[in-house]
């Protein structure tokens, strides 16, 4: 019985360390990316830069978004699905992130709030028009669109242990572009 108790404690510690290390990797990845963005490092702002700054002004929160939703990129922060539109362009720009780290903020968003994306020296403001919970197989919000929209996606429920059974979608429409 004592061995079982020690084994369960050891497994618990490993799980806690793994979860903590993923959170730490995400936090440090965002901090280093924000520092490079602030310093104007080439590749972050240039014409070939694959980074976007995503801001939630009403919540005083921002993230650096990488292009390509690879496992590594998603560990470091939000990532734009490469097949989706570039922010500010016509079409559907889709950005995903984990619910238990970077996109937990989505639970606090409300219709009508503004989201700002900065890329290549331009700022694009979007207004939230839809907050939706869908099944993982529902690809309605991933489809191409004729107008410029932003789709943020994360797993749902936010406080769920294990693989979440649904997706939380935030859809926003482009308001204007400023330099």
Domains in the chain, CATH or no CATH each: 2-178 (2.40.260.10)
**69 with 80: CB under 8 angstroms?**
yes
Q: Please, what sign has the CA dihedral across residues 55, 59, 63, 65? A: negative
- Tokens 């990488």 belong to 66
Per-residue pLDDT of the chain (179 residues; tens, 9 = 90+): 666 555 555 555 444 444 444 555 566 777 777 777 776 655 554 444 678 999 999 999 999 999 998 888 888 899 999 999 999 899 999 999 999 889 999 999 999 999 999 988 889 999 999 999 999 999 999 999 999 999 999 999 999 888 899 999 999 999 975 54
């Amino acid at each position: 019985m004592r061995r079982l108790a020690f084994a369960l404690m050891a497994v618990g510690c490993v799980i806690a360390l793994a979860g903590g290390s993923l959170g730490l990797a995400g936090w440090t990845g965002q901090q280093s990316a924000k520092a490079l963005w602030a310093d104007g490092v080439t590749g972050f702002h240039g014409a070939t830069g694959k980074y976007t700054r995503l801001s939630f002004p009403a919540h005083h929160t921002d993230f650096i978004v990488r292009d390509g939703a690879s496992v590594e990129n998603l560990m470091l922060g939000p990532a734009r699905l490469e097949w989706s539109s570039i922010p500010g362009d016509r079409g559907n720009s889709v950005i995903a992130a984990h619910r238990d780290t970077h996109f937990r903020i989505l639970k606090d968003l409300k219709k009508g709030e503004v989201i700002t994306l900065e890329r290549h020296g331009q700022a694009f403001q979007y207004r939230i028009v839809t907050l939706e919970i869908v099944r993982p197989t529902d690809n309605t919000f991933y489809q191409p669109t004729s107008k410029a929209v932003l789709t943020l996606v994360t797993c749902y429920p936010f406080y769920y242990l294990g693989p979440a059974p649904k997706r939380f979608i935030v859809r926003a429409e482009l308001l204007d572009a400023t330099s």
